[in-house]
Structure 1
Amino acid sequence: MVDTRTAPVALLILRVVLGLLFLAHVWLKIFVFTPAGTAGFFASLGLPGWFAYVTMLWEILGGLALILGVWPRAAALAMVPLLLGTIVTVHGPAGFFFDSQYGGWEYPAFWIVALIVLALSGDGAKALRPTPLR
């Protein structure tokens, strides 16, 4: 049974935390690794360097959409391919546990599950624009 009194607040918390995590990751790419350094890392993985900029924009837009509640269910689903890409290119080859230089895929996999839970559960409280996925 779902507690309809507290579920919207729980989804708000989940939505905001997920959005903040995406913004924290893009902050790291911009201010610590630098955009050029991030592009170089992408190139070292065999990806086109320009895809780093697409990824950073994706993280900014998706993170803000989640935090603000702008089509949050759709935004959550739109972020899943980004995380699947990190599993395939960086974290998957490092193994399951997040204990090596490139981390494992347990953390991005859990993040995917949280995004899917949000997408299936609803917008949560204080969403600016609820999605029509009802």
Structure 2
Amino acid sequence: MFDQRTTPYAALIMRLALGILFLAHFSLKFFVFTPAGTSTFFASLGLPGGLAYLTMTVELVGAIALILGVYTRVVAVVLIPVLLGAIATVHGPAGFFFTNPNGGWEFPAFWIVGLIVLALTGDGKYALKPTPFKG
């Protein structure tokens, strides 16, 4: 059983936390590594360099949507493949622990769990555009 009074605030906190994390990771790729550098890194992994631009776009738009509460459930599900890709290409081969060289997969996997929780709980308080799917 869940508390109808506090659950919307829990979803809000989860939405904001995940949105800020995605915004931080977009910012790292954009401002520190630069889009061209991120593209080169993707290519070094055997991925198309252009996928870096798509990834950054999804992270930025997804972060803003989560923070504002726009189609939260859909956005949460859409962001999961970004993290699965990070696990498959960089973090998975590094092992479980995120303290391993190249960071393990525990942290991105926990993000996925958070996104699944958000997809199941919904928008929470102060969402600008609640998802049309009601659970």
Map 1:118-133; keep pairs closer than 5 Å: 118-133=118-133
RMSD: 0.7
In 2, distance between residues paired with 1:41 and 1:101? 16
SS in 2 for 1:89: helix
> Gaps (5+ residues) in structure 2?
none
Query: Residue 89 of structure 1 corresponds to which residue in structure 2?
Result: 89
In 2, distance between residues paired with 1:92 and 1:2? 34
Deviation at 1:100, TM superposition (A): 2.2
Q: Deviations 1:60-107 (Å, cap 9, x if unpaired)?
A: 000001000000011001100110000000100000111223100000
Aligned AA for 2:17? V
Aligned residues: 134
SS in 2 for 1:101: coil
- Percent identity over the alignment? 66
Aligned AA for 1:107? F
Q: Calculate the TM-score normalised by the size of structure 1.
A: 0.98
> Gaps (5+ residues) in structure 1?
none
Q: Which runs of 4+ in 1 moved over 4 A?
A: none
SS in 1 for 2:3: coil
Query: Residue 49 of structure 2 corresponds to which residue in structure 1?
Result: 49
In 1, distance between residues paired with 2:7 and 2:75? 19
SS in 2 for 1:93: coil
Q: Calculate the TM-score normalised by the size of structure 2.
A: 0.97
